[in-house]
Copies of this chain bind each other. A is one copy, B any other.
């Protein structure tokens, strides 16, 4: 009876416990992203949610590292599927500019900033499986994206160019944008509108290049 799935038949106590666990993960994620895994003590996590020191080992018997792994697992789980599905169901008749914008948003919104920071900064601490996930995600997106671009090319909406490289170019742009916003950006928090404008600018330029 998985704690995270089974929601019916849970007593209020189970619910409370599930809530604690979730809160613990959220707080740890925030702190890990902010200050780094090694710079965040378990005590600090506990204090942040007003929890007794030992309780962490009730929820995560293998300790602090299990928390990190669980955070990454929970945050990435299903994301490839979501991405693949979204890309697969992309409407072929939608204007290409709208399509690219939509894809960009899916990637950017899907990738929460805290997760990105953790994945990059704490990568040596991740499991092999999780490290592999990073690579696979890129490849998947590029693969499916190049298929979509190819269709547009055949319809004459784009010049005849190497689709794979077009896809890589698109992903590189988004990646740069994300890294700038998370790792390098540090404190600069631009507002949503400005962010959107930046994405739009990127995509319009790409289209100009590809037409």
Q: A172-B172, A176-B168 are in contact. Are A161 and B205 (CB under 8 A)?
A: yes
4 closest Cβ pairs, A-B complex: A38-B38, A209-B209, A172-B176, A165-B205
- Whose C-beta in chain B lies nearest to the C-beta of A210? B209
Q: A175-B172, A176-B172, A209-B210 are in contact. Are A184 and B135 (CB under 8 A)?
A: yes
State the oligomeric state as a number of copies: 4
Tell me how far the C-beta of A178 lies from the nearest C-beta in chain B, rounded to whole angstroms.
Answer: 11
- In the complex the two chains form, what is the Cα distance from A202 to B168 in whole Å? 9
Instruction: Name which of A4-12, A14-22, A84-92, A119-127 contacts chain B.
Output: A119-127
Interface residues of A (CB under 8 A from B): 34-36, 38-39, 120-121, 123-124, 131, 134-135, 138, 161-162, 165, 168-169, 171-173, 175-176, 179, 183-184, 186, 201-202, 205-206, 208-210
Inter-chain contact A183/B39, CB cutoff 8 Å: no
- Whose C-beta in chain B lies nearest to the C-beta of A211? B209
Instruction: Chain B residues near A135: list those with CB within 8 A.
Output: 184
- In the complex the two chains form, what is the Cα distance from A115 to B183 in whole Å? 15
- In the complex the two chains form, what is the Cα distance from A38 to B123 in whole Å? 13
Instruction: Chain B residues near A201: list those with CB within 8 A.
Output: 165
Inter-chain contact A208/B169, CB cutoff 8 Å: no
Instruction: Chain B residues near A161: list those with CB within 8 A.
Output: 205, 208-209
Tell me how far the C-beta of A103 lies from the nearest C-beta in chain B, rounded to whole angstroms.
Answer: 17
Instruction: Chain B residues near A209: list those with CB within 8 A.
Output: 161, 169, 209-210
Instruction: Chain B residues near A138: list those with CB within 8 A.
Output: 184
Tell me how far the C-beta of A72 lies from the nearest C-beta in chain B, rounded to whole angstroms.
Answer: 15
Most B CB contacts (10 A, CB to CB) among A34, A134, A183 go to A183
Q: Which of B35, B124, B162, B175 contacts A179 (CB 8 A)?
A: B175
